[in-house]
Amino acid sequence: MSTDTAEQSARSGGNTFFGDVWVNFVRWNIKAVRNRFVLVGSLVQPVIFLVLFTQVFGNVAGQSLPPGIPNYETYLLPAIVIQVSLATGATSGIGLVNDIESGMFEKVLVSPMNRAAVFVGKTAAEMVRIVLQIAIILGLGVLLGAEIATGIVGVVGIMLVGILFSLWFVAFSNTLALLTKDQESTIIGANLLQFPLLFVSSAFLPISTLPGWIQTVAKFNPITYGVDAARAIMLDADVMEVWDITAFGGIWNTLVPAIGVLVALALLLGGIAVSMINRASSADVR
């Protein structure tokens, strides 16, 4: 049956890195629009936290705030923004597990696409989602009485912090997904971390009002840096309590170290995730 010429290949030159990023970016955006639960689902808990915390603890918590902060809503809102980033970071790994389960991950692995580009494209689509969700949360917060001291520039800044902050958790949840290849483990692993981490950080109350051990843990908790960066922009003030840095002046005393920590974390965990994806195969072989 073997004949003279093979069927003419339909491929053009080769895949480009940016082309591969784009293809995956488009695919994950389509999926996010189709699966409204993904967009709305990761907003539910942050919205509940925002509304309940401000209503229930607002009066009490407001009294322990440093002077110059208009209300607890304003203090809490940056923390809720970071919570949104965390929740979306967690769904990132769940998306990957779904891909593993539906066989799409293997399909991607057997294709000539650059694997880092596949990961970057998927993450970029999640960043779009984070921006949308942060916009919704900020809008809701302002409705509840929060004030953004730095105005519209601050809104953009807070979104950028939200994106930067999400990267390490996106990388973490994807690594978890690749390791466990199991939806429950990934959800539990990602969520299990989310809540305790939020509480042992500067998210809900000033660090100085918390017990000593929490102050120590908070120093090593990425959430502290994300919340501090977003809050510094929100309040237009140096809010970092875990380190006493004065070299940069004003708000930058918080932003420079916080962003430095988050970039380092993103590079470290992102590097691990990308190298895992590069080595990924469909089974563990000796």
- Asked if 275 is part of the footprint of other proteins (rule: CB under 8 A), the reply reads no
Residue whose tokens read 């696409």 = 113
* Residue reference for tokens 């520039």: 153
Write the DSSP assignment of 90-126 as a string of letters: HHHHHHHHHHHHHTHHHHHHHSSS-HHHHHHHHHHHH
Q: How far is the CB of 76 from other proteins (least distance, A)?
A: 34
**Cα–Cα dist 73/49, whole Å:** 11
96 binds other proteins (CB under 8 A): no
Q: Is 181 in the site for other proteins (CB under 8 A)?
A: no
The contact mask relative to other proteins for 1-30 (x = CB under 8 A, - = no) is xxxxxxxxxxxxxxx---xx--x---x--x
How many angstroms separate the CA atoms of 100 and 17, rounded?
Answer: 22
54 — phi, psi (to 5°)?
-70, -35
CA distances from 91 to 121, 127, 177, 182 (A): 15, 12, 10, 13
Q: Of 152 and 283, which CB lies nearer to other proteins in the complex structure?
A: 283
Q: Looking at beta carbons only, is 107 or 267 nearer to other proteins?
A: 107
Residue 152 sits in the site that holds other proteins (CB under 8 A) = no
Among 55, 216, 275, 282, binds other proteins (CB under 8 A): 282
CB of 275 to other proteins, least distance (A): 15
106 binds other proteins per the rule CB under 8 A:
yes
In whole angstroms, the minimum distance from the beta carbon of 24 to other proteins comes to: 8
Strands (E) across 206-252 are located at: none
Residue 100 to residue 178: CA distance in whole angstroms: 9
- The yes or no reply on residue 104 touching other proteins (CB under 8 A) is yes
Q: Which residues contact 138 (CB under 8 A, 6 or more apart)?
A: 77, 81, 148, 155, 158
Closest approach, Cβ 150 to other proteins, in A, equals 38
Query: Residue 233 carries which side chain, given as an amino acid letter?
Result: I
Q: Does 107 bind other proteins (CB under 8 A)?
A: yes
Which residues within the stretch 208-247 sit at the binding site for other proteins (CB under 8 A)?
none
As measured in angstroms, the least distance from the Cβ of 270 to other proteins is 22
**Closest distance between other proteins and the C-beta of residue 186, in Å?**
18
**36-52 helix and 72-102 helix, angle to the nearest 10 degrees:** 150
36 binds other proteins (CB under 8 A): no
Minimum distance, C-beta of residue 185 to other proteins, in the bound complex (Å): 18
- Look at residues 250, 174, 199 and name the one whose alpha carbon lies nearest to residue 82: 199
Closer Cβ to other proteins, 178 or 227, answer by number: 178
Footprint of other proteins (CB under 8 A): 1-15, 19-20, 23, 27, 30-31, 34-35, 99, 102-104, 106-113, 281-286
